[in-house]
């Protein structure tokens, strides 16, 4: 899978190398970083389009993100699709977590799952939370899960 910046420029390094280079550049400037990883999806006909984002928040100074898109051509039950979103985020978080530990960067995994039972996505909340927390990652769901529900959502809609 290819990663890109929000402006469409493709990243020229593998994502782990790019994230480390990014962390080093920001830390060298004295910036305190926080990273949020999230995935959102949208069903378009027979396809489910997924967008995973790595959001870098600069304390008191905005942020930026790296984006990866994926498309799967098969029908999904909403709970299955929500858990696949979480799995995609966890896969990225797991690949990068040693960097966040090495550089003392706070990292959260955001799930585009509503905490209110009146929404269909809520069916996957307990499993998603258990999956993320069981992997040792900090968990956020809607409305605090901006990486998935705002940032990644803009990419797939």
Question: Measuring CA to CA, how many Å separate 74 from each of 11, 49, 80, 81, 137?
Answer: 29, 11, 12, 11, 29
C-alpha closest to that of 89 among 149, 13, 32 = 149
Q: β-strands 3-5, 63-73: how paired?
A: antiparallel
CA angle 146–148–150, rounded 5-degree value: 50
CB 51 within 8 A of CB 68: yes
Q: How far is CA 114 from CA 5, 7, 131, in A?
A: 27, 29, 16
Instruction: Specify the pLDDT at position 148.
Output: 93
Mean pLDDT by 10 residues, the chain (157 residues): 92 97 96 96 92 96 96 90 94 97 96 84 85 92 92 87
Q: Where are the alpha helices (DSSP H) in the chain?
A: 15-28, 78-102, 125-134, 146, 153-156
**In the numeric block, which tokens belong to residue 87?**
């799995």
Tell me the angle at which helices 125-134 and 78-102 cross, rounded to the nearest 10 degrees: 20
Please tell me the pTM assigned to this model: 0.93
* pLDDT at residue number 25: 96
Which CATH entry fits the domain spanning 3-156: 3.30.70, 2.40.128, 3.30.420, 1.10.3470? 3.30.420
| Strand-strand pairing, 106-114 and 33-44 | parallel
Q: What is the pLDDT of residue 75?
A: 87
């Amino acid at each position: 899978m290819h990663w890109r910046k929000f402006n469409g420029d493709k990243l020229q390094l593998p994502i782990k190398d790019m994230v480390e280079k990014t962390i080093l550049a920001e830390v060298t400037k004295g910036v305190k970083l926080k990273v949020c990883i999230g995935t959102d999806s949208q069903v378009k006909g027979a396809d489910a389009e997924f967008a995973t984002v790595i959001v870098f928040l600069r304390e008191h100074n905005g942020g930026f993100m790296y984006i990866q898109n994926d498309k799967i051509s098969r029908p999904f039950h909403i709970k299955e699709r929500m858990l696949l979103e979480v799995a995609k985020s966890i896969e990225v978080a797991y690949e990068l977590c040693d960097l966040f530990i090495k550089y003392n960067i706070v990292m959260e995994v955001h799930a585009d799952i509503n905490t209110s039972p009146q929404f269909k996505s809520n069916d996957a909340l307990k499993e998603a939370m258990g999956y993320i927390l069981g992997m040792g990652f900090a968990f956020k769901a809607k409305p605090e899960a901006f990486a998935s529900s705002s940032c990644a959502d803009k990419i797939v809609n």
